[in-house]
Every structure is written in C-alpha cells, then in structure tokens.
Structure 1
Amino acid sequence: MSRSDRKKGARSATAGPGGTNVLSPAALYEAGLHHLGAGRLLDAQVCCEQALAAEPTHADSLALMGIIALQTGQHDHAVAWFSRAIRQSPKIDYLTSLGFTLKQMGRLDDALAVFDKAIQLRPDDAELWKHMGGVLLALDRGAEALLSYQHALTIDPAHRESAFQSGLLLHQQQRYDEAAQAFTVCLAQQPNDLQSLQMRARCVRELKRYDDYLADCERAQALAPDDALVCNNLGDALVCLRRIDEALVWFDRALALRPDFVDVLHNKGFALLQALRFEEAIAVYRKILALEPDNAKAEWQLAHIELQCGDYAAGWAHREARWNMPDFSPDYPRFTQPKWLGQEDISGKTILVEEDEGFGDNIQFARYLPMVAARGAKVILVVREPLRRLMAGIDGVSQCLAFTPDLQRPAFDMHCPIMSLPLAFGTTLDTIPPANYLPPPPADRVAAWEQRLGGHDRLRVGLVWSGNPHQANDGNRSMPLSTLLPLLDVAADFISLQKELRPADRALLAQQSRIRDLTADLADFAETAALMSCLDVVVTVCTSTAHLAATLGRPTWIMLPHLADWRWLRDRDDSPWYPSARLFRQDAGRSFEPVVHAVRTELAAMITGFNTTTA
C-alpha cells in the first residue's frame, strides 16, 4: 500500500455520516500511539500529520512526531519536534524526551539545561534527578552526579538505579562504607542482582570485613556457579581469611573454567606464596609470563620469590620490571640520560643515584654508593629530606640533595635508581657488600642522648611495633602495641622509637610508665641514629628502623611475619645483609604472640649477661 493509499484509508476511517470528519486531533494522536506500539511507524506518522493538519499546535502529536523521528535515527528532527511541543506545553515527558535526545547526540550541556528546567517544574521527581545525574556523569562531573543520585534517594530511598550509580561513584571515591550501603539498597529490591552483589563484595573487602566479603562471594557463586570470575573472588575471600588451602580449590575451579585466566593465576600464585610453597608459585608466575611475556606484575612477583630463595642473579634482573608497572614510584623522574646498570665504564662520569622505594630500602642499598665512587664516578645522591643528613656523609657521595617535586638536579651523565644497584654490581649471596657504610653519628648528639637517658645500670631496649600503614603488607608485618606489652615484664629500660602512632597505640602508650617516648625529638634518621647508638638492643618489626639499627651495627632483633619480606630469605634466623641482626619468625599460626614470647626469653637472658658484666 502506498503512502497516499494509507492517507486515504486514514481519512475514510475517520469519516462519519455525510462524510463529516468526526475524529479529533486527540483521537488521531491516540491512534498514532497505537500504531507506534505495534511498530507501524509510518501509520503513526500519518495519524500525527492528520492531527497537526487539523490543529498545528497539538502538543502531544508534536511530541509523538519527535519520538517517531528519534526511532528512525533523525535526531535533529526529533529535537525540533520536541522543542515545538515544549513551546506549546512544557510537560515533564516532553522535556525528558528532549533531554534524552540531546544526550544521545552528545549535546550534554544542552541536555543538562533541559533536565534542570524539568526539575524546576517538578523538584520532587526522583527520576528527573536520576536523569540529571546521568548527564553529569557523561560530562565527567562525577561529584555533582553523585549529589544528583543521592538527592533522588532522599526523595525515593528505594530508587534502585540511583542507588546503584551512587554505589559505583562512592566506590570510585573510596567511600567504601557508603558504597556498600548503596548496593545493599539494590539488593533489598533484587536479592539475586549479581552485579550489585559483586560490587558490594568489593566494597566490604576494602573495608577488611572479610567475613561479609566471603558471604557475598558465596551468594554470588550460588547464583553463577560456572562463572570463573565469581569462583576467583570466592578464592580471594578465603585468602583474606587465611584459609589458603580452601582458596586454592576455588582458584583451580576458576582455571578449569578458563585455563588462561591471568587474574586467577596471579591470585593462585599469591596464595601459594602465602603457604610458603615457593617452587609452585614460581611455576605459576612463569606460566603467566608464557601467556603474557610483558606482564610486569608477574615478573615483579617472580623476582621477589627468586630473591627470597637466594637466586639473586635472576631476581635482580626480573625486578627491573617494576618500571613497567604504571603505579610504581610515580614520583621517580623519567630521565633522558641513560640508565647505568653496571655495563659501561663510568670513570670520570657523574652518576645520579636517586631513591625509588621506601626509607628502609634506601638505607639498605646505600652500601653500594662507595662502590660506585670507587669506579671513578662522581656520585650525586637524591633522597627524601628525613634521609638527607644521614646519607650525606657516606663515603663517595659528592653531593646529597633532598627530593622536592621541583628539584633542579645538577648536570649528570647517567643515572641509577638506588634499588637497581645490586643488579649493577651483580650481587650474589656471597658478594653482599658489608654493612658498615654509614658514618658514625656526631659525638655531640650521642652524648646529648646519653645524658638525657641517664644512668646505664639496666639494659636499654628500643621498641618499634608497626610500620607505614599504607605499605601493602603492613597488615601482616605490624602489630598493635598491646601485643608487645609482655616484654615489659623484664627488668630493662624501654625506649620507644615508634614515630607514627595509630590511635589505639597512642592511648595505650600514654598509660605505660615503663616505656619512654622520646620520638618527638627525632627529627630525622640522623637523630634517630644518634639515639640508637645509646641502646643495647633494638626490637622491631620489619620497617626502616630495623635497617637503620642493623646498619649501625646495633644488636637488632627483627620480628617477622610468616611470609617475610624477600630480603630476609627463607628459614634463617640471621641475615647476610646485617651481621648484627637476629630474625624471629612467626610460625604457621601467623601470630606475633609466640614471637614476642621468644623475644622476651632472649631479653631475659641478655639482661642476665648485662647484669653480670656491670656488676
């Protein structure tokens, strides 16, 4: 049937007795809606045209013409029709349709203005606030979008889409508790909503609510038993709860579903490492590298296992993969000068050595600086300010600068990150440089601390129980002060070297008359070194204090987690890096209480020897 035939049919269908047209524009609009619902767009258009021929300002027909244009991909025409309808009657539905069309066209500012007008007309409409949030999100104005979604929820607390989008934005902002609550709103309406369930699981994981994380992962697995990612997440939850053997079952199930799922292989390798199954973990990371030769994260993890197992030749080389990890040392400059890794002759050259990891790392590997100078190079060292005074006096360092974002470095020929120096010198277990490279603390500062500490008729014990809370493994390496309190039963003088105090530790330390807290006057590592020189032993977790004390040759007792850092190797209570260090390791129970008990026993024996010597 031709278009003219359709028009005739429409006209005859509207003719009454005597040929009089009896259908109103409203009736024609309703007929058009019926045709549109049945997918007959041309018939719907004919009805609208007839209605508008009779009444050119019929708003509903104008808007319906806009919908027809939109469905046929004629966005410009749709905008024109909706705009004409709004001029006749600014109904919310017309404004919403125009806003949607403008958003689809990428005219986001115009869409925003339309939804703003709609909200002025009906401010208590949660849907409109949701639409406003969508446009703001498309404009990359996430903070404002979140406010729009949250306002929608104040109007309708059960508005699921606003709750979901709020949850996503709150998660991006690391407001995990609020995000989890938003996804709970979604799940209250749709308990089997897998996406909301998985997002809530991610939030509670970040909050370290591992039992809740496991519960959500178990629910997700019941909903999607053949989803490899869901199985992986369940394994991850079990790792968080230190149920390693159970976790490995789920990682293997995920890999049975997707054998080359690299994310699962990463998690399996990490779990094997937690179980101290080093050789199996190495095999997993090598499989990842076979699948993805450029996978820097896998190479980085492999490096640490190799170093922990004493394979320094492979480990140092693989550790260079860190520079291909996007989130590694973001402040480390990318120099145009070449990197020196030991191959070139540097006699007469100026070498810039710059720190690239933690304070303890820089202290440990500063031992290589005299070796660089011994090859005939002028050494310029850049470290953070707390290390500058300590390291400025190292033999062979011509100039030591404090890092600032706008630091103007002197001219240099080549550079080497300080953590790459072991590779540059081909370090093996048998060729670790000695630990006597720091100059002794200034005698006047040591004397000042001796005077402040008073009589030395009892053993002086320095204490450190926690490290940087932002360090990735801090939950395993640090302990609360309360765990360390049994040490105070022995007859010794205890001095806190703990610079950063967590709130609970701060309150507890204030109650301990047996621990002297002098850290307010420890302005930098050089001052800490002067105080340490007055102590008989330093008892510490694996943090920068351990490196400083051991480098100074002080007896240093390091309390280590079950999976210790790679530098402490495996199954040893001594360290080739630090002759004065003793290592006290957690057993498979992963608790520090037995470690503290062992340290207390050794302290008691040391006190006996001290008392005998001073008697």
Structure 2
Amino acid sequence: MSPDPRAVLAEAAALHRAGQMEAAIDGFRRAAALQPSFTDAHRMLAMALLQTGRPKEAVQSARAASNLAPNDPHALLLLGVGLQAAGQAEKALAQFDKAVKLAPGFGEAQFQAGNALAALGRFKEAVARYSRALELDPRAVEALANRAVALGRLKLHTEALADFDHLIALQPWMPMHLANKGNLLLETGDIAGAAAVAEKALETAPRDADVLFLLGQARFASVDLEGARSAFQQAVDVAPGRVDIRVLLAQVLRRQEAPTEAIHQCDAALERDPRHAGAFYERGEAKRAAGDAAGALADLDSALAIAPRHVEAAVARSYVLADLGRMGEVRPAIERALRNGPKHSDAVFHLAMDDLALGRWAKGWAGYEERARIVPPTYKPLPFARWDGKEIPSELVVLGEQGLGDAIQFARLVPLLAERGIPVKFLVRAPLAPLMTTLHPGVALISDESDLDLSAPGLRWVPLGSLPLLIAQDPAAWPSVPYLAAEPERARQWRHVRETGDFVIGITWQGSTRRDIDVGRSAPLSAFAPLAAVPGVKLVAIQRNAGEEQVDEVPFKGRLLRLDADFDADGAFLDSAALLQHLDLVVTTDTSMAHLAGALGRPAIVALKAVPDWRWGRAGEASVFYPSLTLVRQTKAGDWAGVFETITEMVRGRMAARPEVESGASA
C-alpha cells in the first residue's frame, strides 16, 4: 500500500519548520510524486527550493502549482518570485500582473511587480507599484524601503529622504534604514550628513558592517584617511567575506602610502572572488606604487579582461605604460578609457595632459580644468564667485594649487593680470610667499583666506592652473624668464661656495614622496656618482627632507657639500634661490628645483624618466617653459645610468667651454 501523500507532506512540513531543509525537500518531492495533482506539495517544494538558493528548480515546481491552480493569485505570485530569483524579471513581471488582475487588492503582488520593474531599470513604474502596495498596506515596510531606493535612482532625493525618515520612524531599531539614508546623502554630496547618520546608527549597531562601510566612505570622501581606514578595518573584521569593503580599504591604504598592506587586502578579496575586477584594479594601483610596474600592468589587464568597460583600470593602464616607457601605447590606452567613459574626469584629465605634452595647447588647457573633479581634486573652491576671464573684477584672488613646482611654473602668468589693471591678490602657501614677493609689484601676496574681505563687491577668484586657459594658452606668449629673483643680500652671503677653478653643481634627486606622483621620477643619489668623479666638479647637495638620508650611504659623500639644517628655514627656496646665483649648474630630477632654476633663468639639466610629466614634452632637450633648462631623457625606462653618463659628458663639455672666473665671482 502506497503512503498517504498528505501524511508525507505533513512530515516534510515538520522537517521544514525544524530547519532540516534537505530532508524536507525530499519529503515534498515524494508527496508530489505520489500525487502529481497535489498543489500544496508543489507549492511547498518551490518555497523550500527558493529558501535554499535553487531558483531554477523552484520555477519548475511553482509552474506545476500554477498550472494546477491557474486562477490562484498566490500560485502566480510564487511562480513570479521564482522567475525573479532566476534572473528572468520580464517573465516574473507577467506573472505578477496576472495575479494583480485576478486580485487587485493583492498588495504583495504589487510589491513584487515593483521589484521586477526595478530590476528592469524601470524605476518610475516601480515607484508607482510600491506606492500602490503602500496604499493597500501603509505599514508595508519593504515596499517603503524599496520605493525610497527607486526614488533615489530617479534622483528624486527629497522624496527618497522623506521615505527613509518614515522608515526610521517606523523601525528606529533597524540600522539598515539609517545606512540607506546615509548612502543617499553621500550620493548627493552631503558628506557630513552621511557621517552623522552613520554615527547615529552605530549607537545601536556598533558592529554592523554596512554602517561601518558607510562611515568609512564618508570619512574617505572628507579626506580623513585614518578615520576611513579605521572604519573599513572594523567592517572587514565583522564581515571578512565582503570583497567590496576590502577593496575600498585597499584604496585607503594605498593613499596612505602603504601599498604592501593594500596588496594584502586585494589578495584576500581575490581569494574570495577571483573575478572581481575592482580588486585587480586596486591591486594594480598598489603594485605600481610599490614599484612593480610589470605586475601592475598584469593586474590591470586582468581587470579589463573581466570588465572591458572599467574606465579607471584603462586610465591606470595608460600611466603604467608610461612608467614602462611604452610611449606609443599611452594615448591609445587613454582613448580606450574615454570611449567607455567620455565624461570620466580621470580619463579627460589624462588625455589633456597628453595633449599638453604634445603642444596642443587649446585642447589641453580645456581638459586640464577636469583636475577639479578628480579624486582628490587639486584645489578647494573659495566661497565666492569664480572669475570667467572676461569681466574686470574689482579684486581677483588667484588661488595657488598643487605642488610647489606647479605654483612656481604658473605664477609666471599672474603679472599679466596686474598689467591688465586688475587688482590681484595671490593666495599661496605661507612658506612660498616670501619667494613670490619678487614676482611683480602689482601683485599682493596673501597666505590666508582670513585676509580677504568676502563682502567686497566684485570680488572674484580663479585657480592658478586655470590662467593658461583664460589668458595665455600658448607658452610662447608667457612673460619672459627670469620672473623670480633672489634677495640680493642673501645672494651675497653664498659667494663662499665658489673657489677658484671649481665647477659648482647643485644637485637634487628626490621629489614628492607620494608614490602615485613620484613613480619613476626620482633617481637614487648613487646615480650621480659619475658627476662626483669628474675632476674639478664640486657638488652641493640642495636636497631637503626626504632623500637627505642617502648622503650618508654613497661612497662619494666626502665630495658633497652639505647645507645646514636651517637652509631655507625662513621661506621655501629663499636660500636656494640665493645659492643658485653662484652655481655653474643645477642637475636635478623632475622636482620643484627644476622649476626654481627655470624661473630664475639659471642653467640646469633635468634628468627625466622615459615618459615624463606633460610639462617636459615628449622629445628633445629644450623646455618650452624654461629656456635655461636642458632635458635629458631615459632611452629605456628605469635606466638612470645612461642618463647620467650623458649628463656627465655635457658637464665635461661645459667645463671645457667656460671662461676663467675668479674666486667669489658669480657665474
């Protein structure tokens, strides 16, 4: 005698309630096999299969149930849920619509229809279905939550925030609602608001990974790297399997100059998801920062193989190719990025720098404006109207930006404003202000925003790096060199560096300590050994701070004149500018010293990586910005030996051609 299918179903249902899912599924299958027309057996089997993550099998059982009960809206709903879980949103929507037609007041069917429409990207229609579900049941929290998300996708931020506030009022104990509200605030640019929401959520859920993730993102957006690192690390500790959190933690670590730790986080992410393009991208960036260009390129290629439209990876690939000296491949890599993200700030900015390197000034300066939208941006806007380059403001504040070298390079254009009769205030970092006092008598120097009267009518501001676009696109039209000068009395104090017969060379070798900026630019001091070996050469180490420790590590340290600790202490480059007046030559890598020598009109040789920064062009020995500089480029990426052999021969030639000078005379 065959078992009673109802008894088998009851036993399976008991197993299901006890959490013994596989045994329950076996029981539901037996009940359905014993009596194929047993609708409840098919329905309960479908529900159990959905709960165990087997949507395709669930669809088969749900379809059997709906075929047996074609006018049962609940059976249609179950089939729709199964199709939705199986990734067939269009077919799922058809089932939900059938259920609604049979039972117009069936709120769950309206809700699920909203989910299907959201999955199809039809957010306006989804909002309408969620709203209908809420009309039928005003306390349908899931419908309210999903409507808030859909409204956010439609950029209806006010309405979305109102829904999130309603959710928080209904369920104040649920951190998810606060986290979702915070994510929306973050999206709208309200970083402080997002952080405040995250902090509030942590009061009731201190170990909620989503809330910690939100807090980390808010802190990262406000450039609080240490705070972001702490929040992301706590989130990883709570949810070690969350790859998205590990990838953002890796980005923070990389920006904190900890590439090895960043690589470790990416490795852990890729162990959990071997095809996570973001983890490959971030590991590629970290490897580049760690000096492993080949490894970086391999990771970026992996990211693009998985996600061909990954714009950040394509941009990063362009500058790794530059690191490797593969000049001909750089621009195609940037153009690939732009095809996939024509308005992507990093891609536009990098193409602009390549245009500038090629002398395409109008196009290059226009794209250079994108630097305000890269992460992190190169300047923070001032709190009043920006100058458009056309009107004559009653007072114009020129905002210094980027590094010291950039400030020196673009400061050359500020006097043009004064010569047009525009009252100009040049806002620069305090250490640089004393050097800039020699720029032009019509340019006032300030180093603090508090020195400005923000109520003054007609007050305008402009970032320093935007002056080329607005007033002088072709460097051939820029004011002549020199445009900065050393203090005469200070210059006289440095006459002692020269003795009869010396050929005195000032040297610097280390630029920015930021790995993402300095990749390949700085040479080790040991590379200067051929210069130190030339009879009659006297080397003066002008290097300050980072890199100074190398002096004690080279065998020719006894031939280096080291400067006192208070050198340049009372103003950036004040002593340097004075010292340069008594040097025959400066030999430097791509550092701010190159810009200083160029601005002072002093002779210098600049040692450059194979594909250098845009301002040095792509070929040749001459600098379009500084006539007194000579450029020597690597012929092979990373080969400083060849560069310094060439420089040494240049120095020998200059020594042979120099006129006799007396001790204490200026070169």
| Structures share fold, TM-score greater than 0.5 | yes
From 293, 299, 307, the equivalent of 2:348 is 299
Equivalent residue for 2:657?
609
SS at match of 1:549: helix
- What is residue 588 of structure 2 aligned with on the other side? 540
Whether the 8 Å CA contact 2:541–2:560 is kept in 1: the answer is no
| Equivalent residue, structure 2, for 1:20 | none
The residue type paired with residue 447 of structure 1 is: R
* 2:653 pairs with 1:598: no
For the residues of structure 2 that align with 1:193 and 1:254, how far apart are their CA atoms?
18
- Distance in 2 separating the partners of 1:298 and 1:426: 24
Q: What is the TM-score when the length of structure 1 is the normalising length? A: 0.63
Q: Is residue 2:366 matched to residue 1:322?
A: no
Give the letter aligned to residue 350 of structure 2. Answer: Q
Greater displacement, 199-208 / 426-435: 199-208
Q: For residue 268 of structure 1, what is the amino acid of its counterpart?
A: R
Aligned to 2:603: 555
1:424 aligns with 2:491: no
Tell me if the contact between 1:446 and 1:530 (Cα under 8 Å) persists in the aligned partners.
yes
Q: Judge which range, 265-274 or 195-204, deviates more.
A: 195-204
Return the match for 2:173 from 103, 106, 109.
Answer: 106
Which residue is 1:24 aligned to? none
| Cα gap change, 1:568 to 1:609, in 2 (>3 Å) | same
Partner of 1:67: none
Match of 1:351 among 396, 400, 403: 396
Structure 2 residue 295 is matched with structure 1 residue 228 = no
Partner residue of 1:459? 503
Instruction: Give the corresponding residue for 1:520.
Output: 566
Matches within 5 A, 1:263-282: 263-275=312-324, 280-282=329-331
Taking the aligned partners of 1:300 and 1:432, their CA distance within structure 2 comes to 23
- Could you say if the C-alpha distance between residues 588 and 216 of structure 1 is closer, same or farther in structure 2, counting changes exceeding 3 Å? farther
Aligned pairs (5 A) from 1:402-441: 402-404=446-448, 406-409=450-453, 411=456, 413-428=459-474, 430-438=476-484, 440-441=485-486
Query: 2:523 corresponds to which residue?
Result: 479
Q: Residue deviations 1:155-213, cap 9 Å, x none?
A: xxxxxx9xx99xx99999659999999999999xx9x9978986897688679787897
In the alignment, structure 1 residue 578 sits paired with structure 2 residue 645 = no
Once residues 609 and 601 of structure 1 are traced to their aligned partners in structure 2, the CA distance between those partners, rounded to angstroms, is 12
User: Do structure 1's residue 372 and structure 2's residue 417 form an aligned pair?
Assistant: yes
Shift of 1:577: 0.9
Answer with 247-256 or 398-407: which moved more: 247-256
Structure 1 residues 458, 174: closer, same or farther in 2, change over 3 A? same
Equivalent runs, 1:19-168 vs 2, <5 Å: 37=18, 105-106=172-173, 139=200
Superposed displacement of residue 505, structure 1: 2.8
Q: 1:177 touches 1:207 (CA, 8 Å); kept in 2? A: no
Q: Is the 8 A contact 1:239 1:271 kept in 2?
A: yes
2:72 aligned partner = none
Matches within 5 A, 1:377-388: 377-388=422-433
Q: Give 1:253 shift.
A: 5.0
AA aligned opposite 2:481: A
- Describe the SS at the equivalent of 1:521: coil
Partner SS state of residue 406, structure 1: helix
Cα 1:401–1:260 change in 2 (3 A) is: same
The sequence identity of aligned pairs, in percent, is: 26
* Pairing partner for 1:446 from 483, 491, 498: 491
Do the aligned partners of residues 275 and 495 (structure 1) sit closer, same or farther apart at CA in structure 2, a change above 3 Å counting? Answer: closer
> Offset of 1:331 from its aligned partner?
4.5
- In structure 2, relative to structure 1, the CA distance for the partners of 1:478 and 1:140 (3 Å cut) is farther
Q: CA RMSD in A?
A: 4.8
Aligned 8 A contact 1:554 1:580 in 2:
yes
CA distance in 2, matches of 1:105, 1:579: 68
Q: Give 1:481 deviation, angstroms.
A: 2.9
The amino acid that maps onto 1:420 is: S
Counterpart-to-counterpart distance in 2, 1:267 and 1:215? 20
Post-superposition Cα deviations, 1:392-414, rounded to whole Å, max 9, x if no partner, equal: 2323x434233125333584543
How far apart are residue 299 of structure 1 and its match?
Answer: 1.4
Structure 1 position 470 matched with structure 2 position 518:
no
Structure-2 separation of matches of 1:247 and 1:591: 19
Of the three residues 577, 590, 614, the one matched with 1:529 is: 577
One-letter amino acid matched to 2:464: I
Distance 2:384 2:256 in 1: 38
CA deviations over 1:310-348 (Å, ceiling 9, x no partner): 211111011111223352145452422x3133x44x3x8
Amino acid at match of 2:657: G
CA-CA distance at 1:376 after TM superposition: 2.6
CA–CA separation in structure 2 for the residues paired with 1:176 and 1:293 = 30
Query: Separation in 2 of the partners of 1:407 and 1:227?
Result: 50
Counterparts of 2:407 and 2:199 in 1: how far apart (Å)? 44
Q: 1:538 to 1:331 in 2, by over 3 A?
A: same
Residue among 419, 430, 435 paired with 1:390: 435
Task: Please give the alpha-carbon distance, in whole angstroms, between the structure 2 residues aligned to 1:253 and 1:513.
Answer: 48
Aligned pair 1:495/2:540, yes or no?
yes
Please report how far the alpha carbon of residue 385 of structure 1 lies from its aligned counterpart in structure 2 after TM superposition.
2.2
Q: CA deviation at 1:423?
A: 0.9
C-alpha distance in structure 2 between counterparts of 1:364 and 1:173, whole Å: 30
Tell me, yes or no, if the aligned pair for 2:289 and 2:515 is still in contact at 8 Å.
Answer: no
Q: Compared with structure 1, are the counterparts of its residues 588 and 218 closer, same or farther at alpha carbon in structure 2 (3 Å cutoff)?
A: farther
Quick one: structure 1 residues 502 and 332, their matched pair in 2 at CA, closer, same or farther if it must change by over 3 Å? farther
CA distance in 2, matches of 1:514, 1:259: 52
CA contact (8 A) 2:418 2:443 kept: no
Q: Larger Rg: 1 or 2?
A: 1
Distance 1:229 1:391, change over 3 A: closer
Does the residue aligned with 1:351 lie in a helix, a strand or coil?
A: strand
Is 1:333–2:382 an aligned residue pair? yes
Q: Cα gap change, 1:526/1:140 in structure 2, threshold over 3 Å: closer, same or farther? A: farther
CA 362–602 in structure 1, closer or farther in 2 if over 3 Å, else same: same
**Residue 234 (structure 1) shift:** 6.2
Taking the aligned partners of 1:205 and 1:555, their CA distance within structure 2 comes to: 37
Cα shift at 1:276: 5.0
Which amino acid letter does the alignment assign opposite residue 269 of structure 1?
A: S
2:444 corresponds to 1:400: yes
TM-score by length of 2: 0.58
What displacement does 1:538 show? 1.0
* Alignment match, 1:313: 362
CA contact (8 A) 1:179 1:203 kept: no
Contact 1:340 1:415 in 2 (8 A): no
Distance in 2 of aligned mates of 1:596 and 1:200? 40
